Amino acid sequence: MTSSLTEAEIARRLEQAHPRAIHEDPFPQFAGRAPRPAAVLIPLINMDGEWYILFTRRTDRVEHHKGQVAFPGGAVDAEDTDRVMTALREAEEEIGLHRSDVRVVGKLGEMQTVTNFLVTPVVGIFTWPYTFKMQTIEVNRVFTIPISWLVDRDNFHVYIRKESNRQVIAYYPFDGELLWGVTARITLEFLHVIDLLHDD
CATH number at residue 90: 3.90.79.10
Q: What is the pLDDT of residue 15?
A: 93
Give the per-residue pLDDT at 25: 57
CA 95 to chain centre: 14
Averaged pLDDT in 10-residue chunks for the chain of 200 residues: 88 86 62 89 97 95 79 97 98 98 96 89 98 95 98 95 81 97 95 88
**Secondary element (H or E) of residue 192:** helix 181-193
Q: How far apart are CA 17 and CA 176, in angstroms?
A: 33
Count of domains in the chain? 1
Query: Looking at the domain assignment, is residue 193 inside a domain?
Result: no
**Is 59 inside a domain boundary?**
yes
Report the pLDDT value the prediction gives residue 194, as an integer from 0 to 100. 95
Residue 36 belongs to a domain: yes
Q: What is the Cα–Cα distance from 143 to 70, expressed in whole angstroms?
A: 11
Residue 13 domain-assigned? yes
Q: Three-state DSSP class for 82?
A: coil
Does residue 101 form part of some domain? yes
pLDDT of residue 176: 96
Give CA–CA dist 9/13, Å, rounded: 6
What is the residue range of 43's domain?
7-148
Predicted local distance difference test score (pLDDT) of residue 56: 97
Residue 98 lies in a domain: yes
Position 5: which residue type? L
Does the residue 48 lie in any domain? Answer: yes
Residue 142: predicted pLDDT:
97
Quick one: pLDDT at residue 138?
94
Q: Tell me the β-bridge partners of 123.
A: 42, 106
pLDDT at site 23: 57
Whether 199 is covered by a domain: the verdict is: no
- Residue 88: in which H helix or E strand, if any? helix 83-95
